[in-house]
Amino acid sequence: MTEIFSWPFAAEILPALLRGAVVTFIATIGGFFASLIIGAVLLALGRSKQTAIAWLGRGLVELLRSTPLLIQVYVLFFVLPDAGIVLEPVTTGILALGLYHGAYVAEAYRAGLDSIPRGQWDAIESLRFSRFAAYRYLILPQAIAPLVPSLGNTFITMLKDTPILAAITVPELMFAANDAGSQSFRYVEPMTMAAIAYLVMSLIAAFAVFLLRQRLGTRYA
């Protein structure tokens, strides 16, 4: 009788899955920091006093949010080379994650800034604070703490979106699991272990977000 789960086979494929998990982590970290930067740029465009630039920023946010991540990955990997722009698979994956989730981060930024009472903006203008000083000492300390849960959810969602990058041969965790399954015709072990790895990484990220939120909540209380 064939055993349902083979521990020797699981041990055999574990190194390949761990290498895939490292690539998954790298892609998630890179995509997350890219999304923070892209989100800030999109927010700045959307809040511009120039109507055309503001419409451009809002249009980009809607475009990125309303099209599937897989299509954006394909465009970056298969279409850009026609324009002479060739990116490595991992770089493409990081950029795609950053663009797609950057649109959601821009909305999180917007919500965080909009949560600041209007009276404080009026006080900043009347006291003639410089824009840098106003954001550094007054606005950001109040906006960061409420942003942490949203950004934490973005990180965890991005982590679970990385399997899409297997479509462009990024050797992340799901790619490694599929490869192990296709070579052995056994999918129970690689898929089970991949699911456990995603669960563990997500729980660690959620716990880190919880600790950060507690710390910021205490600091800015």
Q: pLDDT per residue over 136-145, tens digit each?
A: 666 776 777 7
Distance, CA of 21 to CA of 101 (rounded, Å)? 20
Residue 47: its pLDDT value, please?
86
Closest CA to 194 of 168, 169, 167, 166: 166
The answer, yes or no, to whether residue 154 has pLDDT greater than 60, is: yes
| Contact call for residues 144 and 88 (beta carbons, < 8 A) | no
Q: How far apart, in whole angstroms, are the C-alpha atoms of residue 214 and residue 209?
A: 9
Domain ranges of the chain: 7-219
State the Cα–Cα distance between residues 143 and 134, nearest whole angstrom. 12
pTM over 0.85, yes/no: yes
CB atoms within 10 A of CB 180: 24
User: Rounded to whole angstroms, what are the CA distances from 113 to 141, 142, 159?
Assistant: 11, 9, 26
The span from the CA of 161 to the CA of 105, in Å, is 15
Residue 76 in this model has a pLDDT that exceeds 70: yes
**Alpha helices for 67-167 (secondary structure H):** 69-74, 89-114, 118-126, 131-134, 140-161
- Tell which CATH classification among 2.60.40.1510, 1.10.3720.10, 3.10.20.30, 1.20.210.10 matches the domain 7-219: 1.10.3720.10
Closest CA to 195 of 29, 10, 30, 6: 10
User: Does residue 121 register a pLDDT over 70?
Assistant: no
Burial degree of 61 (CB within 10 A; 0-12, 13-18, 19+) = buried
pLDDT band, residue 122 (cuts 50/70/90): low
Who contacts 76 (Cβ-Cβ below 8 Å, separation ≥6)?
Answer: 87, 92, 95, 96
